Amino acid sequence: MQTAGIGTAVTSAYSAVDTSVGELNTKIDASYKAVRTDDPDKSPYLPTDIVEGLFNGVWDTLNATYDEVHGVSDQAATTALNITGDYGDLPPSSPTSGGGSPSYGPVSYGTPLSNSELQAMVANVTDAKKRKFLDTALHQVGDPYIYGAEGPNAFDCSGLVQYSARQAGITDMPRTASEQYHATMSHPVAPNDLQPGDLIFPDAEFNGGDPGHVMIYVGDGRVVEAPHTGDHVKVIQLAQVGGFHATRF
């Protein structure tokens, strides 16, 4: 397969969709602010069915355009990008059938990690539920961020944590970053004792013990997170975060 130029073309296509998603997020956030001004008791979380309705259409259109323009499968194009070193913001590929290895989306910032390296980190986790927790979170890389979203096609930071936990059979994970911190704060973790699956609460949004953001430690100095409006689930270096509090569940 010809790989030259595919990475650039695919990245351009996804960039256009990212822009549309960002504009959509802005409109939704504005709508919710207006609603809560009229009714402060109204839940700030966007219902899952609305999230699915909004974003399924966006991604269906994207994938149709993707196949039409490039004439290749999503898996083949992702492979081409990895070969050329062009790490665009692509949605993650689905796990391969027949017992094959899962494929995660590309890593942002720093030296990119290959899917095999991420898979090795997950495989080395001995606790089955923690292993499934990490695997689920990493398979969301590339999914759009939207405030209040709980999956399966879009997430906010704590929605990603709760969704991944539930898929792993961990049913008592609370919904918000603050609740998740208070539910696990009795098991603090020192920076030099981090293990895959630990929760990371950046100091920049710690708010005196009422955190506004949460990430999941992956291993090798990386975290997976759903960062903010206009962005998407990604893996970044923990060094990008600065100071943080960490807990274990």
Q: If pLDDT is split at 50, 70 and 90, which confidence band does 105 have?
A: low
At residue 122's C-alpha, the angle toward residues 185 and 194, to 5°, is 35
pLDDT at 89: 37
What is the average pLDDT across 240-249? Answer: 96
Which CATH number is associated with domain 6-247?
Answer: 3.90.1720.10
Strand ranges (E), the chain: 199-202, 215-219, 222-225, 234-237, 244-247
- Calpha distance 164→33 (Å, rounded): 28
| Per-residue model confidence (pLDDT) at position 99 | 36
With bands split at pLDDT 50, 70 and 90, how would you rate the model's confidence at 116?
confident
Q: What is the rounded CA–CA span in Å between residue 201 and residue 161?
A: 12
Q: How confident is the model at residue 120 (pLDDT cuts 50, 70, 90)?
A: confident
Question: What does pLDDT average to over the chain?
Answer: 75
**Confidence at residue 110, expressed as pLDDT on a 0 to 100 scale:** 45
pLDDT tens profile 20-73: 666 666 666 665 555 555 555 555 555 555 555 566 656 555 555 555 544 444
Per-residue confidence (pLDDT) for residue 61, from 0 to 100: 58
Helices 115-123 and 128-138 cross at an angle (nearest 10°) of 160
Distances (CA, A) of 43 to 40, 142, 151, 187, 191: 8, 26, 17, 30, 35
DSSP SS3 for 86: coil
**Would the pLDDT of 127 be above 50?**
yes
Distance of CA 231 to the CA centre of its chain: 9
3-state secondary structure (DSSP) of residue 247? strand
**DSSP type of residue 72:** S
pTM exceeds cut of 0.75: no
